[in-house]
Amino acid sequence: MVKTIKPVSRIIKIKAEINRISGEVFIQNKELLGLDESWVPRVDISERGEDLIVEVELPGVDQSGITILLYSSRIEVKGIKKENFPHSQFKFLRLEREYGTFRRFIFLPSTVEPEKAKATLENGILTIILRKHRTRRDRDVVLKIEKKKDPTEE
């Protein structure tokens, strides 16, 4: 089987891996090295009012093959993309699509409320809508300095 790799796609993949690894300082060593994943899905994050919208490209991945773990400041999307063909019947001339397990940690620009999240999978795009965590606005507080009491005066 011959697999042709385009240099530009290889650079993009290396850059994505560096970005993924730089955010996973506290993950186990084998996960840091990417030894347990065979591919990394692409991600877009956008903002609409009080919502963060995370879109993950998962072409050919069945809904039952996806697990989403939500935290207040990050998301973990993992799963498997199964091959749909028996190897013995095909002689590939080019094979560029990726199969196997995947895992992607997505660090969010603000904290969110995981219990209010919604996820849909349509046309190979996993869309996760997250409600930003509302924080109380900081107020300016003027703190008065009190005179220290003399212990002998009591």
Residues of the chain with pLDDT under 70: 1-10, 19-37, 86-88, 135-142, 144, 151, 153-154
pLDDT at 82: 85
Q: Which tens digits make up the pLDDT trace of 82-116?
A: 877 766 677 778 878 888 899 999 999 989 988 88
Domain boundaries, the chain: 7-134
pLDDT at 31: 47
pLDDT at 9: 63
Q: Give the fold, CATH level 3, of 7-134.
A: Immunoglobulin-like (2.60.40)
pLDDT at 26: 43
Q: How far apart are CA 62 and CA 72, in angstroms?
A: 26
Whether the model clears a pTM of 0.85, i.e. scores above it, the answer is: no
Q: Provide, for the chain, the percentages of residues in helix, strand and coil under a 3-state DSSP scheme, each rounded to the nearest 5.
A: 20, 35, 45
**Integer angstrom CA distances of residue 91 from 38, 69, 88, 94:** 22, 38, 8, 9
Q: Which tens digits make up the pLDDT trace of 80-90?
A: 988 777 666 77
Token pair belonging to 92: 């590939």
pLDDT at 127: 96
Token pair belonging to 62: 């069945």
pLDDT at 89: 76
